[in-house]
Amino acid sequence: MRLNVKAPPAVQADTRQRLLEAAGRVFAEKGYRSTTVREIIRRAGANLAAVNYHFRGKDGLYAAVLEHTYAKALEKHPPEGGVDPRAPAGERLRGFIRSFLERIFDEDVEACYGRLMARELVEPTAALDGVVERIRPLFGRLCAIVKEIVESEASLGQIERSAKSIVGQILFYKHAAPVIQRLEGRRAGPPDIDALARHIADFSVHGLKGPSARARRSR
């Protein structure tokens, strides 16, 4: 009998998964700094050696949680938002916006990724770098759609500024939710996704003065 018994691969993968999920909940509740590895391993039913083996410690575990939860959100709500990739750019823009709203309004995603990112944006940690590398291709995809819509001479800087104008409109509903709640007595949620995606796409394509936008608004 060998003394150095190693867990079989399936058990290892399961431990890794349990650690990721327990860590997601604890980090989201308490923030990176106030979380102890001790509490995570207790909740995951794992031990410190497993954290070090799979993630090389608390920092690595935290970075893995951020990337894992973002990847899961994208898997659940893919960025094309159910729109055919051959559809006109305006429709693809609406699909992109809709899937983004779905991700920020999804309570499972929100309970973990949303709260982690909200904390990251107030007090960034080294782990933000990894998430930004996952955000980068998504931003590129939005810029490509914007470029098709403006059809033109716009510089890369102008296209990127317009893409940021679109992302800003979307994130507002997550970021400013506590203010909206107090201003209007309710905050936006999943039932509003259709109307908001239409509004943001329409506002972005035509602005306040676009004639077709105005016609559509007065319907």
Taking the C-alpha atoms of residue 1 and residue 51, their distance in angstroms, rounded to an integer, is 27
What dihedral do alpha carbons 152, 165, 191, 76 form, nearest 10°?
Answer: 80
> Per rule CB under 8 A, is residue 158 in the interface with a second copy?
yes
Tokens 């990739």 belong to: 85
Taking the C-alpha atoms of residue 127 and residue 193, their distance in angstroms, rounded to an integer, is 30
Instruction: Single out the segment in contact with a second copy by CB under 8 A; choices: 38-46, 48-56, 94-102, 143-151.
Output: 143-151
| Helices (runs of H) and strands (runs of E) counted in the chain | 12, 0
Query: Closer to a second copy at the Cβ: 45 or 189?
Result: 189
> Per rule CB under 8 A, is residue 149 in the interface with a second copy?
yes
Length of the chain, in residues: 219
Instruction: Single out the segment in contact with a second copy by CB under 8 A; choices: 12-20, 66-74, 104-112, 120-128.
Output: 120-128
CB of 47 to a second copy, least distance (A): 31
Instruction: Single out the segment in contact with a second copy by CB under 8 A; choices: 5-13, 45-53, 61-69, 126-134.
Output: 126-134
Query: Closer to a second copy at the Cβ: 52 or 118?
Result: 118
Half-sphere exposure of 53 (CA within 13 A, CB side): 14
CB 174 within 8 A of CB 100: no
> Per rule CB under 8 A, is residue 30 in the interface with a second copy?
no
Binding site for a second copy (CB under 8 A): 115, 118-122, 124, 128-129, 132, 135-136, 139, 146, 149-150, 152-154, 158, 161-162, 164-165, 167-173, 175-180, 182-183, 196, 199-200, 203-210, 213-214, 217-218
